């Protein structure tokens, strides 16, 4: 079974509903965004969109209603940059957005995403216009007007050739890495759901209250527990690899969401689970004693491991 099908069957139902469990072929898209989403206050590229700086930059993004878990997209930076600079992987099926989330006056959808690659040499719209192989691309003819466009296979291949200097295996490797990482995180999540007594052995008295909890800001926590001993909610964030500072910041945001949406303003706690603890993550945990670190070894979670066997991939390169 192809990895894209296995991941959808394991994870899509709890992410987007029962209708999402049927796998479909991987699709390729162009997402269009403005500088308010890709530049920081100083006019520089946002560091939190760079996988080299952050552990799998993720969140939710507006997308086409046909987007499915495992689709991939190139991100076009409109107006100031006017180029393609990122490769993004959809990590849920598309879901409807409320009026306050989407574009005014439009029936929009969103999906969860992870940035899997920032290209070292972005491809400008001028370079695309000058490329005869891209001349008939309908989206380019209208200057990428709109928020999302389908990318035909031949156009996708040409874009990757240009973006990677004819080394599309770079894209394949990035997608494969994220797919394996997500598969490990889903396996770890299910391991904890199926083995609740593990927490008791570590001195916790936790009762599972929610899995893949969607907050009002449309971010999503892996697991939410009730601490029967402390009488408060505990948010657990799972990582297949090293826990760094951005992961600690992530669970702190989810704790704030739990405080506001579940706990009636009362304090909450957090646990980050990972293979080990990075220097930045350790420093932040020292500043936030309300967040604890638990390693895979502490949990006995041999289900999470680095794989060496090559995984079959959808034909996106």
pLDDT, residue 6, reads 37
Confidence grade of residue 170 (pLDDT, cut at 50, 70, 90) = confident
Does 59 share its domain with 196? no
H or E element that contains 210: strand 206-214
Q: Mapping DSSP to helix (H, G, I), strand (E, B) and coil, where does residue 178 land?
A: helix
Res 217: pLDDT: 87
Q: Average pLDDT of 295-304?
A: 76
Q: How many separate domains does the chain show?
A: 2
Q: How confident is the model at residue 168 (pLDDT cuts 50, 70, 90)?
A: confident
Task: Over range 227-235, report the average pLDDT.
Answer: 97
pLDDT score, position 44: 95
| Same domain, yes or no: 240 and 292 | yes
- The CATH number linked to 234 is 3.40.1350.10
Residue 157 covered by a domain? yes
Q: Are 65 and 158 members of one domain?
A: yes
CB under 8 Å to 123, separation ≥6 — which residues?
83, 84, 159, 162, 163
Helix (H, G, I), strand (E, B) or coil at 8: helix
- In order of 74, 233, 264, 285, the CA distances from 259 in angstroms are 36, 8, 6, 19
pLDDT band at 291 (very low <50, low <70, confident <90, very high): very high
Arithmetic mean of pLDDT, 162-170: 90
Residues 36 and 142 in one domain: yes
Helix, strand or coil, per DSSP, at residue 191: helix
Q: Do residues 8 and 105 both lie within one domain?
A: yes
Q: Are residues 250 and 197 in the same domain?
A: yes
Per-residue pLDDT tens digits for 70-101: 999 999 999 999 999 999 999 999 998 876 65
Tell me: do 195 and 150 sit in the same domain: no
pLDDT band, very low/low/confident/very high, at 59 (cuts 50, 70, 90): confident
Within a domain: 76: yes
pLDDT at 134: 97
- 307 falls within a domain: no
Specify whether 185 is located in the same domain as 152: no
Examine the domain organization and report whether 39 and 141 are in the same domain: yes
Judged against a pLDDT cut of 90, whether residue 24 lies above it is answered with no
Residue 221: inside a domain, yes or no? yes
CATH of the domain at 36: 3.10.590.10
Taking the CB of residue 97, how many other CB atoms lie within 10 A of it? 19
Count Cβ atoms below 10 Å from residue 163 Cβ, excluding itself: 24
Residue 172 lies in a domain: no
Alpha-carbon span 294 to 206, nearest angstrom: 14
pTM equals: 0.75
Predicted confidence at residue 177, as pLDDT, reads: 86
Let me know: does 255 contact 232? Beta carbons within 8 Å. Answer: no
Residue 314 included in any domain: no
Backbone phi, then psi, for 261, in 5-degree steps? -100, -25
Residue 310 lies in a domain: no
pLDDT classification of 103: cutoffs 50, 70, 90: low
Look at 107 and 255; give whichever has higher pLDDT.
255
158 with 15, same domain: the answer is yes
The C-alpha angle with vertex 206 and arms to 204 and 212, in degrees rounded to 5, equals 130
Residue 124 placed within a domain? yes
Give the domain extent around 44: 3-167
Same domain, 95 and 10: yes
């Amino acid at each position: 079974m192809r990895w894209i099908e296995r991941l959808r069957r394991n994870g899509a139902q709890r992410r987007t509903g029962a209708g999402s469990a049927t796998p479909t072929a991987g699709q390729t898209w162009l997402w269009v965004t403005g500088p308010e989403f890709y530049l920081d206050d100083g006019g520089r590229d946002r560091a939190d969109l760079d996988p080299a700086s952050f552990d799998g930059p993720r969140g939710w993004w507006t997308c086409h209603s046909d987007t499915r878990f495992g689709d991939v997209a190139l991100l076009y930076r409109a107006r100031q940059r006017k180029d393609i600079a990122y490769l993004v992987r959809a990590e849920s099926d598309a879901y409807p957005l409320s009026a306050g989330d989407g574009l005014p006056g439009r029936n929009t959808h969103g999906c969860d995403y992870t940035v899997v690659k920032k290209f070292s040499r972005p491809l400008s719209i001028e370079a695309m216009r000058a490329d005869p192989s891209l001349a008939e691309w309908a989206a380019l003819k209208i200057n990428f007007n709109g928020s999302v466009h389908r990318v035909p296979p031949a156009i996708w291949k040409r874009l990757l050739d240009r973006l990677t200097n004819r080394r599309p295996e770079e894209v394949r490797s990035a997608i494969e890495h994220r797919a394996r990482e997500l598969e490990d995180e889903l396996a770890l999540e299910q391991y904890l759901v199926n083995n609740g007594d593990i927490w008791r052995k570590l001195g916790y008295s936790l009762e599972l209250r929610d899995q893949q909890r969607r907050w009002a800001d449309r971010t999503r926590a892996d697991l939410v527990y009730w601490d029967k001993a402390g009488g408060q909610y505990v948010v657990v964030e799972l990582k297949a690899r090293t826990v760094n500072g951005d992961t600690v910041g992530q669970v702190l945001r989810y704790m704030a969401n739990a405080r506001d949406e579940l706990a009636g303003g009362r304090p909450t706690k957090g646990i980050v689970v990972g293979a080990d603890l990075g220097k930045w993550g350790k420093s932040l945990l020292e500043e936030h004693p309300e967040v604890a670190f638990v390693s895979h070894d502490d949990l006995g979670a041999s289900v999470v491991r680095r794989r060496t066997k090559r995984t079959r991939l959808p034909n996106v390169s």
